[in-house]
Chain A
């Protein structure tokens, strides 16, 4: 483990040898960080978060409590993940994304900046959610669905659907 001198890493955390932890990070007890993960400045793992391998957490990211994250994900600046959320592998989140409590994100998901996934939402694999989109609590988004920017999602979305507008409407042709 290569941790900056200003980082606070709890001795009870389990961290692979080749993990990089940046300045002013806080890694709490019970955290598990897999090989080749990189934590940028001021990243906070406040509870027993579990990270697989090759994850990149940029500056100011907060994992708030027990969170499970797979492999090869990129979480951009100031993203927040709530307690008991689960994130698959190879996902990419933009800056200021918010993942609510108990939300589940499948593999290969793309979430644009400021996307809000409220508590209890479930996103299938290869879902694309563009910037500034809000998913209300408990929504289920099917595999391969795409939701355009600023769309308020107030109902479940089927697989491979392209959702746009306010109020949201499924578009002809489905997700590109």
Chain B
């Protein structure tokens, strides 16, 4: 187990024999690091954090830190990271909160570029890319093969659909539909992520069907329910089109265009106003 002598490994940490811990790293007592994972240098891993196999974590990352949530009261929540992820310099990943499910999860084969921030209770599935300084607020779900460009900010409880492409400096305040590209301060849908779909090996016939679906849903004047019926007629035989339709229906059923918004804990009841003092005069 190559651990640099300057690294601080607290008692209780479980580090696989083939993992590498570089200079000036700090590994807390409830951390588990899997085979072949490498902490390059000056990485901090704290909290109840499990990192799988063959990940590379670059300098100045902080993984498993306390959530930035006013409801957090020191619970022993977790951070789970799968296999073969690349986490570049200065990335911060916060652990979960009990009210939000208790864990922050990063799947497999993701790339988090420098300075990306993943807040509490986020779920990033597999094969996603978060470019530089990308900011996920709490409870965000990013489905597989999604790409978030640099300086993207994602609102609490948003779901980014699979194979979605978010352009640079976009604000994503509502769910981002799968297979689509979004851009701008309001996160507008601008087209189909045809390059991403081609890379995944999606058939041209399906891509063309998604392009027609985009035209009907976002560029025609049809109301959303009627547009979805039309899309079902032209492409309902394709799983990807059905996924798009179901995604949009679920988002519409949510609140503020966010299907996961119902997970937001109810606000604490306001205490009753104090009884007026009796006039003793």
Contacts and interface: CB of A to CB of B under 8 A. Distances in A.
Interface of A: 4, 6, 22-24, 40-42, 58-60, 74, 76-78, 92, 94-96, 112-114, 130-132, 149-150, 165-166
Contacts of B3: none
Given A78-B90, A96-B90, A132 B62 contact: no
Please name the 6 residue pairs, one residue from A and one from B, whose CB atoms are nearest each other, closest first. A95-B92, A41-B26, A77-B62, A23-B8, A59-B44, A59-B62
A86 B151 CA distance: 28
A22 B153 CA distance: 31
Contacts of B60: 60, 78
A95 B44 CA distance: 14
Contacts of A114: 115, 117, 133, 135
Given A77-B92, A149-B153, A150-B171, A113 B135 contact: yes
A91 to B, nearest CB: 12
Main secondary structure of the interface of B (DSSP, over half): loop
B247 interface: no
Given A24-B24, A59-B65, A40 B44 contact: yes
Given A58-B65, A132-B133, A150 B169 contact: yes
Contacts of A60: 44, 60, 62
A75 B60 CA distance: 16
A10 to B, nearest CB: 20
Contacts of B133: 96, 114, 132
Contacts of B31: none
A23 B43 CA distance: 12
B117 to A, nearest CB: 5
Nearest to A94: B68
Contacts of B151: 132, 150
Given A113-B117, A132-B151, 10 more contacts: A22-B26, A23-B8, A58-B65, A60-B44, A77-B65, A94-B68, A95-B117, A96-B90, A96-B92, A113-B68
Interface string B1-39: 000001010000000000000001010000000000000
B195 to A, nearest CB: 25
B8 A4 contact: yes
A35 to B, nearest CB: 19
